[in-house]
Amino acid sequence: MKNAFTHITALLSTCALLLTACGGSNTSTNSTNKIIPIGIAVAQTSNVALLGQEQVAGAKIAEKYFNDKGGINGTPFKLVFQDTAGDEAGTINAFQALINKDKVVGIVGPTLSQQAFSADPIAERSKIPVLGPSNTAKGIPEIGDYIARVSAPVSVVAPNSVKAAIKLNPNIKRVAVFYAQNDAFSKSETEIFQQTVKEQGLELVTVQRFQTSDTDFQSQATNAINLKPDLVIISGLAADGGNLVRQLRELGYKGLIVGGNGLNTSNILPVCKALCDGVLIAQAYSPEHPGEINAAFRKAYVDQYKKEPPQFSAQAFAAVQVYVEALKSLDQKSKVNQLQIQELRTELNKQLLTGKYNTPLGEIGFTPIGEVVQKDFYVAQIKMESDGSKGKFTFLK
């Protein structure tokens, strides 16, 4: 069983690349195509791939793990990848390909909230479930009945890192906030950061704006440093965020730095190198999370990548897991291979919202509108070797 599945999965990955050669592009129902296709629409190219490539890794580990365990009650599933790149147009194309050409039962994606706000409404209109693996802005599940997420929102995650910074340095008083004004997630996260700063009785001395495409932050960094902050908080993405950290340090800023979820990848380490040291980032996943499924996920990740699994990989794994377990439950009621694709998508959407899932993130479930319900959150701090060549995320106690 195990080897047959692995073989079929490998064959289908080839077919996904050569759809015409394999003749699989026009299959209208699942009864003629036994293998169940789940779509993955994340950024595999562009700067956003600094985040998206970790999602591909987590999803692929889930594909092998759950197919080795028998797939959907004995029927294997396959992941169909469509690259969204970093923008909205690419995401819309990827969603349309998955919905109309690949005829997937549900989609995991996209990488950014900025992309989700334009592509998710297309899935909603086509009545196909979407599980956001990393969309944390306010308002994502509210896009529609078919839109849910496994990524806890900024309102739940972001305050943890500010509180951790205050614990590390109880003398913090003056806070400078930076955010990328062309990114929906960054705008949403900075609102939460600014609110937390005020709730903690700190003084917000400046709010500096930039673009995710910026590489030069000299003027914003200088403006902020002149106001003598003892905490800097950044909401941006990986490349811009890493460059901003580096330039703040080069210009002499010595205080603590909190980075938001867009900096939550070891792919920023080559950008700020030794100057990344000490950055605090809240986490919705810990590699130390107890339980069998996280142990299996962690081992598979460490074996392949020789480092601890990052949050974005764990969330992508969890999203695939939700589809697999919801499909299994549904299949026990009515054989999923005998349902027409549209009926299957609708039933799957209903089913997944009612389940409880024991994932590497801990036990998760959903509210009726598709907001994730999750218990455990953490804060990590980047520790770099002094020559800046290597570093890692260490979890605070």
- Note the residues at the interface with ligand 1QQ (CB under 6 A): 51, 111-113, 134-137, 185, 261-262
Q: Which residues pair with 384 in a beta bridge?
A: 391
Which of 10, 13, 38, 6 has the alpha carbon at shortest distance from 336?
38
Give CA–CA dist 207/187, Å, rounded. 12
Task: Give the nearer residue to ligand 1QQ in terms of CB position, either 98 or 180.
Answer: 180
CB of 284 to ligand 1QQ, least distance (A): 10
H helix or E strand, kind and range, residue 174:
strand 174-180
Give yes or no for a contact between 188 and 154, defined as CB atoms under 8 angstroms apart. Answer: yes
Task: Give the nearer residue to ligand 1QQ in terms of CB position, either 94 or 137.
Answer: 137
Task: Give the nearer residue to ligand 1QQ in terms of CB position, either 229 or 360.
Answer: 360
CB of 236 to ligand 1QQ, least distance (A): 9
CB of 51 to ligand 1QQ, least distance (A): 4
CB of 134 to ligand 1QQ, least distance (A): 4
Please report which residue ranges of 45-183 form alpha helices under DSSP H: 49-68, 88-96, 113-126, 154-168
Task: Give the nearer residue to ligand 1QQ in terms of CB position, either 75 or 114.
Answer: 114
Q: How many CB atoms lie within 10 A of CB 122?
A: 15
Residue owning tokens 């800023």:
253
Task: Give the nearer residue to ligand 1QQ in terms of CB position, either 116 or 300.
Answer: 116
Name the residue whose CB lies closest to ligand 1QQ.
185
Q: Which two three-digit tokens encode residue 68?
A: 């080795």
Task: Give the nearer residue to ligand 1QQ in terms of CB position, either 67 or 161.
Answer: 161
H helix or E strand, kind and range, residue 2:
helix 2-17
CB of 154 to ligand 1QQ, least distance (A): 7
Cα four-point dihedral sign 291, 297, 300, 301: negative
C-alpha 87 chain-centroid distance: 16
CB of 142 to ligand 1QQ, least distance (A): 14
Give CA–CA dist 376/173, Å, rounded. 28
